[in-house]
Every structure is written in C-alpha cells, then in structure tokens.
Structure 1
Amino acid sequence: MSQDPEDGHRRWKHDGVRVIRGDQLDPASAQTPGMFRQVAIDHARVGAQKLWAGTVSIAPDAKTGVHHHGALESVIFVLRGRARMRWGDRLEYVAEAGPGDFIFVPPYVPHQEINADPSQPLDCVLVRSDNEAVVVNITDVEPAEKPESVHWIDPIHRGP
C-alpha cells in the first residue's frame, strides 16, 4: 500500500513550520489594567504541546505580588524598559534587566516581577515551558516593593 506523495506535501505545508507575524498576535487573552498580553504561540493557535509564547507590555511602576509558577520554567526577553526581579524565600535577592537582556525563572522560585521605571512601560517577550498557566500566590511573604499604585494582574498574576 503506497502513500500518495502529494498527501505528505499538503500535510507538511499546513502542519510544518509556522510563522506568526508581529501584527498577527492574539490580544484575545484576558486583559486587565497594568498589563497587556498578546499570544503568539500556544496550543489553540498552532498546536504547541509544551510551549506558550507571547508579548507583554507592563504599565509604568506595575508590580506583582509574591508568587511562583510551579514546575514551569519561564524566559523573559526585555525589548524596552527596565525590569526588576526579586526572588528568594524572603525576596532577599534582586537583579535588573534592560533591553536585550534575558531573564530565566526556574520552577518553584518565589519571586516578584517589577517594572522598575515609574514613567515608562516595560515591553517583553515571554516564553513558558507549558501551555497551562500556573501561579501559586505566596501570602506569608511580604512583597519587597508593595504593588500600591498599579497592580500587575492578569489571569496568572492575581491582584489583592
């Protein structure tokens, strides 16, 4: 029983490499004040089984509460602005990243994400190691920088 080579060609043409143009990102993600996410790659859009990728624009001075993302790994690439990350059992460690810098957040690391610039948005590309959004809020650790003016909230980062 031979297979029609044309069937293989059609399958790879539509199920092979996918290019998602910058003007084709999906803003249909839940949106809340302080954060604007657009999906590029996920299961629904391209059939990705183990990745989620998109862009995020964070309002000036926006901050998350203390949380971790379970077994997920996250990579953040800073396009514009200044990101500050605090992490550790008591958020005792801090680092900043600017345009062209990558941030890696390992599984289960308690952290707080902060737009370090009170006057400019922070624009990033975000890649996660799974399609499922996982967040575990940590309520027994005070945020190093209280999210008082603008809460960085979305379906993953819940507000107070």
Structure 2
Amino acid sequence: MFSAMSSLLPIISEILPMVLPSKTETTPADQLTPILDNEGRPIRETAIAGKCDKMCASVLTTHPHSTSPIHHNSEQDAIIYVVSGTGTLVVKEGFKGELRHHELRPGDFAFVPAWTEHQARNDGDQDFVWVITQSGPRPVGAILTDWGGQEVKTIE
C-alpha cells in the first residue's frame, strides 16, 4: 500500500498546480531588499525569493570602476541577464582553473553552473546591472577571499 502511494506522489505534485488556484506576486522596484556595499550603495537586491522551491531572482549592480566580490552560488545554477551598462563576467573554468573573461552588454545572457567561481567587473562609467535567476528558493552561495580561496561569508 505504501509503495503504491509513494508512486503517486510525483503525479500528484504535477497535477496539483493545475487544479489549485495560485497567486501571482510582484515586487515593485522600490521594495527590493538591498545588500549594501561599504559605501552604503546597493550591490545586490533580492527581488523574488521564497515564492517557490525551484527559482529566485536578484538584481546585481556593479558600480563604475569596481568589481563584485569573487563568489560562487553553491549548488545553484544561475542565469544572468544584463539590463544596463557594460562589463565583464570573469569565471574560473576548467581543470586548471583558468580565468575566462566574458564581455557583456545590455541584452546579453550568461549561464553560470553551480559551484563556479565568478566575479563582475565594471571598468566603465555607468552602473553594470544584471538580473540573476538562481535554481533555488533563495539565493545562496559564498564570498571568497580570492580565486580558489577560503569562504569569507555565506550568502543566504
């Protein structure tokens, strides 16, 4: 009996969202939850989190002539969409841990796999703004001391 019920769970979890009413939610720009840099400027703002178990979204701003901390998104994959400004996504890739530089401009997308160390660089004169969608209910990850370095802070 128990095994028959457990085999129905995947089917039930697929059907329930189609039958039960759901609620659409929005987050106005002036209500984003900011994380501030050392100068009190917002660098990451949580836009949608805790609404479902499969994804969340944030806005990352890299100010002119600055870089984001080197970090990874733990077990979460991330899709990045560049909203404004131009900059560079620096990613540690491959078995030798080579740093690759991906130039990005408005309208570009990037995919960053889980556990991949990366950093945003802005050498320009305007904010470099991304929307990041991660594969979990809330953004997670860790800020590192350097490429391949120790975790300084856990992002949760």
TM-score scaled by length of structure 2: 0.66
Of the three residues 133, 137, 152, the one matched with 2:144 is: 137
Asked whether the equivalents of residues 45 and 58 of structure 2 are also in contact (C-alpha less than 8 Å), the reply is yes
1:59 counterpart letter in structure 2: H
Counterpart in the other structure of 1:69: 73
- Is 1:79 the counterpart of 2:83? The answer is yes
Task: Please say if 1:112 is aligned against 2:119.
Answer: yes
Over residues 69-102 of structure 1, what are the superposed CA-to-partner deviations in whole Å (9 max), with x where a residue is unaligned? 2211111101111120122255431111101000
What code does the residue aligned with 1:135 have?
Answer: A
The alignment yields a C-alpha RMSD, in angstroms, of: 2.8
Deviations 1:56-78 (A, max 9, x none): 33211221343322211111101
Identity over the aligned pairs, expressed in percent?
20
Alignment partners' CA distance in 2, 1:96 and 1:129 = 24
Partner AA of 2:85 in structure 1: G
In structure 2, the residue matched to 1:96 is: 103
Alpha-carbon distance in structure 2 between the residues aligned to 1:41 and 1:128 = 10
Pair 83,51 (structure 1): closer, same or farther in 2 beyond 3 Å: same
CA contact (8 A) 2:62 2:120 kept: no
Three-state SS of the structure 2 residue aligned to 1:48 is coil
Between the two structures, name the one with larger relative contact order (CA 8 Å, sep ≥ 6): 1
Would you say the 8 A contact 1:25–1:40 is kept in 2? Answer: no
Structure 1 segment 50-65 matched on structure 2, within 5 A: 50-65=54-69
**Unaligned residue ranges in structure 2 (runs of 5+):** 1-19
Q: Which amino acid aligns with 1:55?
A: V
Indicate conservation of the 8 Å contact 1:57/1:123, yes or no.
yes
Q: CA deviation at 1:39?
A: 2.7
SS in 1 for 2:34: coil
Assess if the C-alpha contact under 8 Å between 1:66 and 1:141 holds in 2.
no
Which amino acid in the other structure matches residue 67 of structure 1?
H
Alignment partners' CA distance in 2, 1:87 and 1:56: 16
Measure, in 2, the Cα distance between the counterparts of 1:81 and 1:91: 26
**Is the aligned partner of 1:122 residue 2:131?**
no
Is residue 38 of structure 1 aligned with residue 45 of structure 2? yes
